[in-house]
Structure 1
């Protein structure tokens, strides 16, 4: 049975355009994988703690020396990484907030980036260890793909590639606060999803 892990990060809930694009993909994926399982993690509705000195301290303390509090901190990342490792396909939906990704999604990335689990250091540089396909669903109010102010999509693509995820396609609906151009971009992204799954 195939498992799809979806990570949603928009604070707009079901009104989110990036989430609506992800819904389109999931619906079509389930049609092709009727026995498939979808695991949903909404980091906007259930935000993770941001990294602090305590977080780093727990990660860099040997397992046998960790306090109960440190073990609880490390367990957060352990759960997320195990969830990621158990999936066959990963999808990420994200809005653009102030030129980049939501801080809740950044926190998720911080927790799943762990040397020895999701990537490793080598003599020629870091190598990702999560060998799975991934898809990105992005929306923004004013900007489109490729514009200089867009630090949203490149960030997601770079991070997913860093941990070894193979980004098959990125679906972008820019200009969602601009009326007709945004509607056209959204419909175009939906059409692309229809033939991609």
Structure 2
């Protein structure tokens, strides 16, 4: 059975198709999941809303706990890592990760960065061994077959690679880098632009992004897991 991890990170509640001033990324991620379930109704969906319920940021205590061998951790260390463990367990169960991530000031929301910081963890999703010399790090989720779908939105336009301000887009690139570091490199994207223009260009961009989501579902649902 396929497991899909659905993550929303927008600070706005509700999708832009159902809520006044709602989130475009929530709109796209919900559409992806609905379309996927229509084609593969047996899929199990795990939902994680880090936009409304953000994970705690990494602290010095968190780092101390994470780099302490599990069998040497004190009770407070296990408590410190409890949210991280839950998030990583969800990620490990998932075959498909669908992340709605809007652009906030050229990068992902702080809530999603906190999510990344909690799942990129030594001993759980990447390995570290000084005896390996110049390459002490390695991904623990390589060859896991996991696929990542990033669904974004931007107020301006031209943020695609090679676009008029593509060099200012640090959303997809930073997410791709973090997930590749732990071994997830099969990544797909769709985005809505022109939000701040609120005219026919926004309507066209929404239509194009929704069509891209539908096409992605059709392509990915037929891939072997």
- TM normalised by structure 1 equals 0.92
Number of the residue aligned with 2:184? 165
Q: In 2 relative to 1, CA 142–115 (structure 1 residues): closer, same or farther, beyond 3 Å? A: same
Higher strand share: 1
Q: In 2 relative to 1, CA 125–138 (structure 1 residues): closer, same or farther, beyond 3 Å? A: farther
- Deviation of the 1:67 alpha carbon: 3.0
- Deviation of the 1:125 alpha carbon: 6.5
Number of the residue aligned with 1:90? 97
Q: What per-residue deviation string (whole Å, max 9, x for no partner) do you get for residues 118-160 of structure 1?
A: 1235655643332211111001111432312111121112212
The equivalent position to 1:29 in structure 2, one of 4, 25, 36, is 36
The answer to whether 1:2 aligns with 2:17 is no
- Deviation of the 1:183 alpha carbon: 2.2
Name the SS for the 1:116 alignment partner.
coil
Q: Distance in 2 between matches of 1:61 and 1:127?
A: 18
Please list, as runs of the form range in 1=range in 2, the aligned pairs for 1:42-191 lying within 5 A after superposition: 42-121=49-128, 124=135, 126-130=137-141, 131=144, 132-143=146-157, 144-146=159-161, 147-179=166-198, 180-191=200-211
Q: Distance in 2 between matches of 1:125 and 1:192?
A: 39
Q: What per-residue deviation string (whole Å, max 9, x for no partner) do you get for residues 84-123 of structure 1?
A: 1111111111111111111111111111111232123565
Q: Distance in 2 between matches of 1:28 and 1:174?
A: 22
Q: Distance in 1 between matches of 2:13 and 2:72?
A: 41
- TM normalised by structure 2 equals 0.81
Q: Distance in 1 between matches of 2:169 and 2:110?
A: 16
Name the SS for the 1:70 alignment partner.
helix
Q: In 2 relative to 1, CA 55–94 (structure 1 residues): closer, same or farther, beyond 3 Å? A: same
Gaps of 5+ in 1: none
Q: Distance in 1 between matches of 2:122 and 2:61?
A: 18
Q: In 2 relative to 1, CA 111–134 (structure 1 residues): closer, same or farther, beyond 3 Å? A: same
Output the aligned Cα RMSD: 1.7
Q: Distance in 2 between matches of 1:82 and 1:22?
A: 21
Structure of higher CA gyration radius: 2
Gaps of 5+ in 2: 15-21, 218-225
Q: In 2 relative to 1, CA 163–64 (structure 1 residues): closer, same or farther, beyond 3 Å? A: closer
